[in-house]
Amino acid sequence: MAGVGYYAQGAWSHPASQRHRYTDLDFWLERSKLLDEAGFDALFFADVLGVYDVYRSSQAPAIAGAVDFPLNDPFMLVSAMLTNTQQLSFVLTASTTYESPFALARRLATLDHISKGRIGWNVVTSYLPNAARNHGLIEQIPHDQRYQRAEEFLAVVYRLLEHSWDNDAVVYDKANKVYADPNKVHTIDHHGEFFSVQGPALTEPSVQRTPVLYQAGASARGLQFAATHAEVVFVNGSNRAALAAQTAKLRAAAAAAGRAPGDIRIVTDLSIVLGRSRSEAEDKANEIRRAQSPEAQYAAFGGASGFDLSQYDDDDLLPTALTHFSQAEAARFTTEKDRPDTIADIKSRLLDLAPYARTLVGTADTIATEMATIVEQTDVDGFNLHEFVTPGDFEEFSEHVMPLLTARGMRSPATTAGSLRNRLFGHGDRLNDAHPGAAARRGQRQLASTPKASID
């Protein structure tokens, strides 16, 4: 995240952490250069639009502990990080609940132009009531309605980015002073339940047109949305069996939505603590544990799940009723388990190393071997690697684990410059024909004529 703290809450207080430098552009340029040179596929920015305020019914624990707060705007950082990277792609989180589809399509397309196609969009529906109150609402739009809005949001973005400009619309004819052919630029005239957009898109077609679509909703509704639209899906599970079950469910849902098995890449969260020996890695893990903050971790859980752990006794169980927060967040302690966890179990799990990702502690060799085993056992395609200590973790991973992954044939094959979509799927820069966004290309053609102003 474009801030101090994320996922492993409190890790910014580790003696070696420099996360407080997040306001310094050099900090980000150092990160992008490192990841680009090491051959990572992409740098992913998570983002939220409000403060976590469920735990202790207060914003104080999140503000004190830097729980996804304060946060700068990752779009600004990415435009700077494009300047010192050649291969690395960037995946940006943007909310269909609070953004405008017309304005967001423009910002994404601009980044796609200037990066030559190295952009992905993590489509989120958001879950913080404070985010709703920051955007003119009294309370959150209900959970499933947020997904309804997300469906319409994507329909508008597809029409803008896939349909409104023909491939050959830009003629750049200096002799006749024609830049674009008006017959090949179309309005979209969308009038729906949530949005009204005339179009055309302000931007001419970029390399990928629609950026690569990422998604992570794990509720029943979220899974259906991912199966329909997402090209890359973040999938987690409380253990490997649950992760394998989730990937199987997603692949089946994608097939039911008419998509081929190769149309979706599944990525799971991973953290590592690397040592030259097992005991050195364990010592480092203990140092990270000491840096993590229970209060901040409970604040993060409260904000995401909607459940305030300060309101329960240790042997209570969380209610299984669905909330308007992230439904997947609580489910991993309740409905996903054979026997639900008690509040004491949940608290202790939240104090594990990076409770939101599986964590591997050991030597480079054991970590590379375990990564291969996870892929084999769970059918994931890749990893979203978290950092505990910045700088440090990515440097060590690049130096010691990446060469082993390369030697074992586990790296993404594409190492030449190209779009993110081509790197991930190898079928070119644009959405493939089976994707619902591709259907927007075939919509009815209209002239980009402006209605005459009428004076009554």
| Three-state DSSP class for residue 327 | helix
Closest CA to 207 of 112, 96, 71: 112
Rounded-to-integer distance, Cα 217 and Cα 149, Å? 14
Binding of ligand FMN at residue 46 (CB under 6 A)? yes
Residues in the interface with ligand FMN (CB under 6 A) total 22
Rounded-to-integer distance, Cα 85 and Cα 71, Å? 23
Q: Is the Cβ of residue 270 or residue 402 nearer to ligand FMN in the bound state?
A: 270
Binding of ligand FMN at residue 217 (CB under 6 A)? yes
Rounded-to-integer distance, Cα 242 and Cα 331, Å? 11
CB of 334 to ligand FMN, least distance (A): 13
Binding of ligand FMN at residue 32 (CB under 6 A)? no
Binding of ligand FMN at residue 327 (CB under 6 A)? yes
Question: Which residue from 216, 230, 273, 368 is in contact with ligand FMN, where contact means CB under 6 A?
Answer: 216
Residue 2 near residue 77 (C-beta atoms within 8 A):
yes
Q: Is the Cβ of residue 197 or residue 213 nearer to ligand FMN in the bound state?
A: 213
Paired with 215 in beta bridges are 123, 233
Q: Is the Cβ of residue 199 or residue 222 nearer to ligand FMN in the bound state?
A: 222
Binding of ligand FMN at residue 298 (CB under 6 A)? no
| Angle (deg, nearest 10), helices 101-115 and 143-158 | 60
Rounded-to-integer distance, Cα 300 and Cα 387, Å? 17
Q: By CB under 6 A, what part of segment 381-400 binds ligand FMN?
A: 384
Binding of ligand FMN at residue 326 (CB under 6 A)? yes
136 Cβ contact list (under 8 Å, min separation 6): none
Using CB under 6 A, which of the segments 118-126, 178-186, 187-195, 252-260 binds ligand FMN? Answer: 118-126
The residue type at 275: G
Using CB under 6 A, which of the segments 169-177, 326-334, 416-424, 428-436 binds ligand FMN? Answer: 326-334
Helices (H), 208-342: 220-229, 240-256, 278-291, 294-305, 327-331
Binding of ligand FMN at residue 336 (CB under 6 A)? no
CB of 169 to ligand FMN, least distance (A): 34
Q: Is the Cβ of residue 37 or residue 144 nearer to ligand FMN in the bound state?
A: 144
Question: Which residue from 92, 105, 124, 274 is in contact with ligand FMN, where contact means CB under 6 A?
Answer: 124
Residue 161 near residue 142 (C-beta atoms within 8 A):
no
Residue 215 near residue 153 (C-beta atoms within 8 A):
no
Question: Which residue from 17, 85, 89, 126 is in contact with ligand FMN, where contact means CB under 6 A?
Answer: 126
Burial class (CB in 10 A: 0-12, 13-18, 19+), 276: exposed
CB of 323 to ligand FMN, least distance (A): 9
Please give the sequence-ordered ranges of beta strands (E in DSSP) within 10-85, or none if there are none: 42-45
Before 142, cis peptide (omega within 30)? no
Q: By CB under 6 A, what part of segment 225-284 binds ligand FMN?
A: 234, 236, 269
Question: Which residue from 41, 47, 162, 308 is in contact with ligand FMN, where contact means CB under 6 A?
Answer: 47
The separation between CA 131 and the C-alpha centre of its own chain, rounded to angstroms, equals 17
CB of 164 to ligand FMN, least distance (A): 28
CB of 9 to ligand FMN, least distance (A): 15
Binding of ligand FMN at residue 429 (CB under 6 A)? no
- Report the relative pairing of strands 196-197 and 190-191 from DSSP bridges: antiparallel
CB of 74 to ligand FMN, least distance (A): 9
Binding of ligand FMN at residue 127 (CB under 6 A)? yes
Using CB under 6 A, which of the segments 174-182, 215-223, 250-258, 291-299 binds ligand FMN? Answer: 215-223
- Binding positions for ligand FMN, rule: CB under 6 A: 46-48, 93, 122, 124-127, 216-219, 221-222, 234, 236, 269, 326-328, 384
